[in-house]
Amino acid sequence: MEMKLSSEQAKLRAAARELAESEFAPKAAEVDRTESYPFNNVAALKEAGFMGYTIPKEYGGRGGSFFEAALIIEEMARVCGATGRIAVEANMGAISAVMQYGTEKQKRMSAELVLAGDKPAICITEPEAGSAATEMATRADRRGGIYVINGKKHWITGGGVSKLHLIFARVFDQSGVEQGIGGFLAVAGTPGLIVGKREPAMGLRGIPETEIIFNDLEIAEDMLVLPPRGLRRGFADLINAYNSQRVGAGTVALGIAQGAFERALAFVKEREQFGRPIAEFQGLQWMVADMAIALNAARLSLHQAALSADPFPDPLLAAQAKIIASETANAVTNQALQLFGARGYSRDYPMERAVRDARMFTIAGGTAQVLRTLVASRVLGIKAPQTRDGYGKPTAAIRAAAE
């Protein structure tokens, strides 16, 4: 069950499925086991026109919508989560921000890299500024015609393999006066852009998550991506563009869960206990029913968010979709593993990898808790500042608890 597709969209999805099944499915376990970036998969994505599919035609892309990109992404993630995430960042997030806010020079440079197979790295999170991303300390100091960036990001997807980096930093003018948060484009190999420690991640092990350290990284002033409302509203505009990646991330979670669900459906019809296929036990039938219902709801929510793009997905719809898809993926991959019994717990089967791969999506891209605050603030029509002084002076009880 899904949105009614046009014949073009149906063909696009079928092409994505064919590529995923033939090229990526056979290698997915190996990518996970070896923790190696699937460069061959990227070459096949590029060949298929799926890297930079959303880049406008005048810059060499297909000018595809986020909805069409979601169709592609789900098919990739259904067989290989890492390849699904690469498809997200080659079509949403950083590249979308640049294609919307960038100068001609920035657009051409970024489009060229992505169309050649680069998965950009979006550099927002810091050790002391995760959910509270606006408290980032990474700074860009203006020095004549350049900016000098110092600071450290961590958990950056693609560290060491990504070429293009979109670096979120607090901007200071020549006299040291803060201007707001801006995005800076830097290419791997630039002196002062240092790839640090790689995290030994639980899942999606084909993609490195690393520290990125900025040590007097010099960036030409024309590599500042200046959001439409200027630096004062820089973070708001940049995170607005990021809503596209929230929809993409949710779609990867959905694809991983869909793949696990389909394997479980086949298994319960084959596996026999007590002289009958376990699919005949009503308790399991209801589990399968609940999994199908949740996946369908998540897909519809994601498609609704993707279709709301103007130019980016609606923040509320994107947050809602990411919450429902990520939580559904955790539940469905675990239930699918359960239906396999002990086999589900074996690394000889893909079920445990699906659970590990799905687990990140209630954390990365804005946690399920923080996104609920966004949803609440939008449905209540109130600001919901999270800092204590956001709600006025802390009460005596809060003060006492803090002492």
Q: Which does 209 bind (CB under 5 to 8 A by kind): ligand FAD, ligand LLMBWK7S, none?
A: ligand FAD
Residues 124, 181, 193, 254: which binds ligand FAD (CB under 6 A)?
124
Q: Which does 236 bind (CB under 5 to 8 A by kind): ligand FAD, ligand LLMBWK7S, none?
A: ligand LLMBWK7S
Strand blocks (E) in 26-133: 121-123
124 lies in the site for ligand LLMBWK7S, by CB under 6 A: yes
Q: Which does 261 bind (CB under 5 to 8 A by kind): ligand LLMBWK7S, ligand FAD, none?
A: none
Around Cβ 381, how many Cβ atoms within 10 Å?
Answer: 6
- Dist. CA 199–CA 156, nearest whole Å: 9
125 lies in the site for ligand FAD, by CB under 6 A: yes
Structure tokens at 375: 């949803």
123 lies in the site for ligand FAD, by CB under 6 A: yes
364 lies in the site for ligand LLMBWK7S, by CB under 6 A: yes
23 lies in the site for ligand FAD, by CB under 6 A: no
DSSP letters, 323-389, are HHHHHHHHHHHHHHHHHTGGGGGSTTSSHHHHHHHHGGGGTTTS-HHHHHHHHHHHHHTS----STT
Of 119, 130, 131, 180, which is closest to residue 152 (Cα–Cα)? Answer: 130
Classify residue 342 as exposed, middle or buried by CB count within 10 Å of its CB (0-12, 13-18, 19+): exposed
Of 144, 145, 127, which is closest to residue 136 (Cα–Cα)? Answer: 127
- Dist. CA 332–CA 340, nearest whole Å: 13
Question: What does the per-residue mask of binding to ligand FAD show for 319-348, with x meaning CB under 6 A?
Answer: ------------------------------
End-to-end CA distance of the chain: 54
Q: Which does 31 bind (CB under 5 to 8 A by kind): ligand FAD, ligand LLMBWK7S, none?
A: none
236 lies in the site for ligand LLMBWK7S, by CB under 6 A: yes
DSSP-derived 3-state class of residue 26 = helix
Q: How far is the CB of 200 from ligand FAD (least distance, A)?
A: 12
Residues 134, 150, 179, 334: which binds ligand LLMBWK7S (CB under 6 A)?
134
Structure tokens at 247: 């929809």
Selected range binding ligand FAD among 99-107, 278-286, 294-302, 369-377, rule: CB under 6 A: 369-377
169 lies in the site for ligand FAD, by CB under 6 A: no
Nearer to ligand LLMBWK7S among residue 283 and residue 392 (C-beta) = 392
Of 185, 266, 252, which is closest to residue 225 (Cα–Cα)? Answer: 185
* Site of tokens 């929230």: 246
211 lies in the site for ligand FAD, by CB under 6 A: no
Q: Which does 240 bind (CB under 5 to 8 A by kind): ligand LLMBWK7S, ligand FAD, none?
A: ligand LLMBWK7S
Q: Which residues contact 16 (CB under 8 A, 6 or more apart)?
A: 48, 50, 71, 72, 75, 76
Q: Which does 22 bind (CB under 5 to 8 A by kind): ligand LLMBWK7S, ligand FAD, none?
A: none
Selected range binding ligand FAD among 185-193, 282-290, 368-376, 389-397, rule: CB under 6 A: 368-376
Q: How far is the CB of 84 from ligand FAD (least distance, A)?
A: 13
Instruction: Report yes or no: 13 and 67 within 8 Å, Cβ to Cβ.
Output: no
Q: How far is the CB of 80 from ligand LLMBWK7S (least distance, A)?
A: 15
- Dist. CA 24–CA 281, nearest whole Å: 34
| Mode of pairing for the β-strands spanning 193-198 and 164-172 | unpaired
- Dist. CA 399–CA 402, nearest whole Å: 5
131 lies in the site for ligand FAD, by CB under 6 A: yes
Q: Which positions touch ligand LLMBWK7S (CB under 6 A)?
A: 122, 124-125, 131, 133-134, 157, 233, 235-236, 239-240, 243, 245, 249, 315, 364-366, 370, 374, 385-386
Q: Which positions touch ligand FAD (CB under 6 A)?
A: 122-125, 130-131, 155-157, 201, 209, 360, 363-364, 366-367, 369-370, 373, 386
